[in-house]
Structure 1
Amino acid sequence: MDSFFFNITDTKYKRTELFKGKEGYLNRVDISNGIVFLESKLVQYTQEVTLENLDRMLLFVMVKKGTLTLYDRLSQKEMRVKDGEIALYVSSKQDMTLTIEKSKNSDIFILCIADFFLKRYLSAGENEIIDFLYHELQKDVSLKIIDKQPIDALSLYIVEKILNVSVTERMQSIRAEHRVIEFMIHRFSLLDYFSEEIDAISLELAAKAKAILLQNFISPPTIESLAHLCATNESKLKKVFKKVHQTTLHAYVQKLRLDEANLLLKEENLTIGQIAK
């Protein structure tokens, strides 16, 4: 089987049309050796992509509109990512079909990251999610879901920046790769990996609070309101959130705001005053 990624001697930024018609398009973009993304916008059309490779890779699947079905022939399992969701999968070998289901409008982004790209950033930290994912990829796993969440504004923003790198722009690979790394950092920061045992009830409570804050960090609910939404009391919520996420509720909201502000400063050339508004 061929590799899904570049050959070692072919490392130029490359855009390939896999499908184009009146119904829309499906493009493949090779950013650099070890980073590939598929992007599709279709109207009332079903499109399939077959993967038959022996690559160890992460797959980020973001579905703004429509539904993407992943059918893994090796395990004979079918998984779906639906409208407004973003999911992360690991796969150490591929014999699968990705199907963009027919819908009124579909808007789908799939980012594939090779394990040898991840290997550059291993830290051997006890709770480092990137190390955990890399070691998962060394196992014999055809397709395994790691995480699925609603699409957040910051992920959407960074993906738009990845898509907007022009093939005529200078240093396309390094610009796009930089934005992919920003995307990975953000998505990994939203994942929870723990070396210590934490009970399922605490994990569920912390995850629910985190999801609410992720969708409302610009105007977050008060701790009292958040506790009510999570069907618990303020004291328990603060204690559990700190134990699970190793940060306070306030600090987590501030981090989300700071991440977005830094991107706006860097990418949109806005002033600090404009961002504060």
Structure 2
Amino acid sequence: MTKPTIYINAENISSGSKVPLLNVDEQQNLSEGVFDAASESYEALQFDRSRLNISTYSFSGIKIVIFEGTIYQEIEIPIQDNSEYLSLAFVKSGTITTKSKRCSFEHIATARTANLCCHCCFEGTAYFAPTEHLQIVSICFPKGYLTEFDALIAQCNSYKAYGYMHIPMVNNLPMQECVDMLIDPPVTGNVKQVFLKGKAYELISLSIQSMYSQPISSCGVSDKERHRAYQARDILEDSLLNPPKLRALAHLVGTNDCKLKKDFKTVFNTSPYAYVIRRRMEKAYQHIITSDMAITTIAQNLGYNNASHFSSTFYKHYGVKPRDLKHLRKRN
């Protein structure tokens, strides 16, 4: 089967021809054409038994692209950019590896990761790893759309390749919830486009907050070290109730505890231990405001046998005790 190519060419949009993925061109397309009015397009790519669905929602100045599918064996799609733009890329599930054809650059984006990407005439290949549920959301906009992103790009030159650059950001709970809403919006019809556009703007705002609250490292870490940090994060995410000790966690991802602690801090601006506590508190907060589950049950489900310890930890994070938050929710 002939492999499709990801062409970044705005002329293809305006002429009405279909291409697999992103089409953004600052000079020709962002001031007029498809971005002037909200539009939707859908495409399904078949690779033997694997299937990749691409939904595109175009608005004035921004474009939302959602990738969903089931990948039974690794598929690869060539990438050919011919324009310059920025994107916010959020991987909810699955793994995508981007490789350059012009240098040894390789970027691995795993589940629950987020990156600010700068594209400029990039030529490479996207590799989609086998997964039952691939879900990726990308919000694209022209360079200069927001000075905050331009400033970050100017400050950080650690992750550049020929025509491509990425800056990782902490993908916090509010951002993950926005991504969920974009993938599965609770509304349909004309209201759906208004909803999606609003959520996209909210996600852009949350991304700015996230990136400006984390340090931009001048030296960075290698993609291999970053990948290990994300692997460790995923292990912690799947074992919040009983997470492995630092040494055991480091062994699981193929490094030592000192190196992992340092790389984890660089990538996520926190330690593995503090990450577990923060995620427990975020989950506790969601349970409290969305369910009638008892506080003691919530605490136990998150690994706290001592309700008093759980309450004091929660208070340190949110400035309110769990029971007070529950009473406030019921009163409202």
TM-score (norm 1): 0.58
Query: Is the counterpart of residue 143 in structure 1 residue 192 in structure 2?
Result: no
1:30 pairs, out of 44, 55, 58, with: 58
2:237 pairs with 1:215: yes
Q: Secondary structure of 1:255's match?
A: helix
Secondary structure of the residue aligned to 2:144 is: helix
SS at 2:202 equivalent:
helix
Q: 1:4 deviation in Å?
A: 0.6
Unaligned runs of 5+ residues in structure 1 are 123-129
Kindly indicate whether residue 81 of structure 2 is the aligned counterpart of residue 52 of structure 1: yes
**Counterpart Cα distance in 2 of 1:152 and 1:245:** 10
Aligned to 1:96: 123
CA contact (8 A) 1:38 1:109 kept: yes
Post-superposition offset of 1:112: 3.8
Q: Residue type matched to 1:215 in 2? A: E
Which of structures 1 and 2 has the bigger CA Rg?
2
- Show the counterpart of 1:64: 93
State the shift of 1:111 in Å.
1.2
Q: Give aligned-pair identity as a percent.
A: 13
> How far apart in 2 are the matches of 1:32 and 1:134?
25
Counterpart mapping for 1:1-277 below 5 A: 2=10, 4=24, 7-9=30-32, 10-19=35-44, 23=51, 25-30=53-58, 33-42=61-70, 48=77, 50-60=79-89, 62=91, 64-65=93-94, 68-73=96-101, 75=102, 79=106, 81=108, 84=111, 86=113, 88=115, 90-96=117-123, 99=126, 101=128, 105=132, 107-114=134-141, 115-119=143-147, 121=148, 131-133=151-153, 135-136=155-156, 141-147=162-168, 157-165=177-185, 166-168=187-189, 169=191, 171-172=194-195, 173-182=197-206, 185=209, 188=211, 193-194=216-217, 211=233, 214-215=236-237, 218-219=240-241, 221=243, 225-226=245-246, 229-230=249-250, 252-260=275-283, 269-270=290-291
Between the two proteins, the alignment pairs up a number of residues equal to 254
CA distance in 1, matches of 2:174, 2:121: 30
Relative to structure 1, is the Cα distance of residues 51 and 108 closer, same or farther in structure 2, using a 3 angstrom cutoff? farther
Larger RCO of the pair (alpha carbons < 8 Å, separation 6+)? 1
Is the CA contact (8 Å cut-off) linking 2:63 and 2:140 kept in structure 1? yes
d(CA) in 2 for partners of 1:241, 1:148 = 12
Deviations 1:62-83 (A, max 9, x none): 2734x6453545x255646477
| Residues in 2 aligned to 1:102 and 1:198: alpha-carbon distance in whole angstroms | 25
CA distance in 1, matches of 2:132, 2:267: 38
TM-score by length of 2: 0.51
How far apart are 1:105 and its partner, in Å? 4.6
Deviations 1:210-242 (A, max 9, x none): 7378525743648xx335544559xx9999988
Q: Structure 1: which amino acid aligns with 2:98?
A: L
Residue 69 of structure 2: SS of its match in structure 1?
Answer: strand
**Contact 1:52–1:94 (Cα < 8 Å) also in 2:** yes
Deviation, structure 1 residue 92: 3.9
Q: CA RMSD for the aligned pairs?
A: 5.4
The whole-number CA distance in structure 2 between the counterparts of 1:48 and 1:244 is: 28
Q: Cα distance, 1:209 vs. partner?
A: 11
8 Å contact from structure 1 (residues 158, 183) kept in 2 = no
Shift of 1:55: 1.8
Per the TM alignment, residue 34 of structure 1 is displaced from its structure 2 partner at its CA by 3.1
Does the aligned pair in 1 maintain the 2:37–2:60 contact within 8 Å? yes
Map Cα deviations across residues 132-154 of structure 1 (whole Å, 9 max, x no partner).
335448x89502354599x9988
Runs of at least 5 residues in structure 2 that lack an aligned partner in the other structure:
1-8, 11-22, 251-255, 302-332
Alignment CA distance shift 1:19-1:47 (3 Å): farther
